Structure 1
């Protein structure tokens, strides 16, 4: 059996609300021992800087360009990640010597898979120097260079979790993991660990943008605003009739691929309610591209905390004879799963195991990836 490593995963997702940190002990394959996790929120001013970074990134045509605010933003983002690692270690009575590697996602500022271009800002060598821990970062690029979409990367970890959950919770197969972050994605685990995965549509990003623009708050906590509204069928259909859902080739999404409604399209509550329905219905529409009809959906990511989204998803899935479970119902942590995945993928990368597969990103053959920054050597 391969030796296990203690890894920390760092995730800053498309919602741009903060840094998720998780500890994992793993061999990057079958052994997965989940440890503590935590979250470190960005202040409002830094979130505004990240949003400006998305605007500045639209000028990029090469991955190493850093126009406008991006160079300074990359440096400051990396330092915030280093601070999050230090705080996490202190909270859990650990030191840098206890950690073998950090899996560092960085912040996606541009994702154009059709142009083989994806950009996650984050300085791996700087993070290694600041933390005194080896860092694996930039794990999407090699997939794109080999014909893939560069996303999703988490399916390899989902497969490992599904094996454990099937053993302990007797899940009815086929099992599909659904991650509802800014963008939603699905991972289908079939017989013999067959993996099929793709982005399924807008997740929280439309709702977040809608309530921020019209209520001045970053997200609809607990679906409270949506629960006061009604679904507007014409507005919902405008999203659900998008050619993304019928295209034979699955493609990965950027948060800008679906724009939020205009203010004249709905009032605050009806807009939030309709977008919550779109989030759920998009998952079921995209599931039609899977090789078999799912029997069990396991939901992670921030969207699982919105009972309006979960209610719609459960109702739509029931019509297809499937059950919907939050990650916690099968002993998993739906908040930290992406960060855990980045820890798992870092160990896989060090072992040169595949991170992506033809069935998950469209890559020509299974490929590994990532860059390795070694911690400073003393003496």
Structure 2
């Protein structure tokens, strides 16, 4: 329905596996879009779900299909609990990303679990989901999808960088929005810090204690992906096949791995943002809390690094997937060909009625 105000729930689960981000957002259109995050929380995965999700790329089609149903039902419970807890009514739609199981756009394949029609039936709400598939069918990368939100909700910033499982960037060049994945972040850092029996490196303290290994740093910075032109995107498969073997072959102490990967991340990000003189680089995502990583990014940056409110740091992706759903309801383009490489701008996502 075309109107000037919407209440939606945005739901996002990223590759860093820190949980399901869920947010109730109000969007208003008055010449330009504005938003307010009304309620938001992250539902952490228990050990059982972490074990299932961390190995998704290794599963057979049959196992993945069964897990898709199981995860969709789990997601319906999480969303229903959020709605009940916050006494939410009058929702235009629940807009859910699902959780990426496979992402191989070069093979016309992207698969997010949790996007089955049963989700709408269980939560008794209109659901908009599966935002990536159509873009891949149209020759795009199916990622990143957040830049339409950067374009319409965060236009005051020259660059928008998100530090999640992967770092991605969005900016305008000659008036055209472009975006792409930069490099792995938490998906690699969390893997190695797990050897200490912890989920993440709090404030980057362990990485800070490590010694920079220049040989590994050079090998990582020379990876072919960084020489490719955009549009381009990364997935867990690439990390497992390309990056981890290089790191493991060096047989370094874990703290040295963390220190070197942090430097690699900071170099790759600032190589992008330093290309043009600008006023501000907005940085969001869980990686912002890695204070050592942020210190290295700031040290190498030639531009002003801006960190927004905690709400936006933690829930920007849930916010924007909510916004993608609003654009879908309005039958307006929510996926930009200039970003993904698809043959045209388009309105992506599947709509299921509850």
TM-score relative to the length of structure 2: 0.91
**Aligned residue among 262, 272, 290 for 1:306:** 290
**Aligned residue among 166, 170, 179 for 1:197:** 179
Matches within 5 A, 1:32-181: 32-56=35-59, 67-94=61-88, 97-163=89-155, 166=156, 175-181=158-164
Shift of 1:297: 1.2
**2:326 equivalent to 1:326:** no
Shift of 1:332: 5.6
What do the CA deviations read for 1:292-338 (whole angstroms, capped 9, x no partner)?
A: 44431111111111011101111111xx3x0112222xx86110011
8 Å CA contact retained: 1:298, 1:327:
yes
**2:167 equivalent to 1:188:** no
Write the distance in 1 (CA, Å) between the matches of 2:119 and 2:341. 31
Write the distance in 2 (CA, Å) between the matches of 1:246 and 1:106. 30
8 Å CA contact retained: 1:147, 1:363:
yes
What's the secondary structure of 2:232's corresponding residue? coil
Write the distance in 2 (CA, Å) between the matches of 1:122 and 1:341. 18
TM-score relative to the length of structure 1: 0.85
**Aligned residue among 333, 345, 348 for 1:354:** 333
**2:253 equivalent to 1:270:** no
8 Å CA contact retained: 1:162, 1:189:
no
8 Å CA contact retained: 1:4, 1:31:
no
What do the CA deviations read for 1:212-252 (whole angstroms, capped 9, x no partner)?
A: 2x223222122121121122111111111111112234311
**Aligned residue among 277, 280, 283 for 1:296:** 280
**2:196 equivalent to 1:210:** no
Shift of 1:190: 5.8
Structure 2 residues not aligned, in runs of 5+? none
Provide the residue aligned with 2:15 in structure 1. 14
Structure 1 residues not aligned, in runs of 5+? 60-66, 167-172
What's the secondary structure of 2:238's corresponding residue? coil
Write the distance in 2 (CA, Å) between the matches of 1:249 and 1:345. 22
Relative to 1, partners in 2 of residues 1:222 and 1:332: Cα closer, same or farther, differing over 3 Å?
A: same
Write the distance in 1 (CA, Å) between the matches of 2:120 and 2:250. 49
Write the distance in 2 (CA, Å) between the matches of 1:120 and 1:332. 25
8 Å CA contact retained: 2:146, 2:320:
yes
**Aligned residue among 11, 30, 34 for 2:33:** 30
How many residues align? The count is: 346
Provide the residue aligned with 2:208 in structure 1. 227
Write the distance in 1 (CA, Å) between the matches of 2:311 and 2:48. 32
Q: 26-35 vs 272-281, which deviates more?
A: 26-35
What's the secondary structure of 2:52's corresponding residue? helix
8 Å CA contact retained: 1:235, 1:265:
no
What's the secondary structure of 2:259's corresponding residue? helix
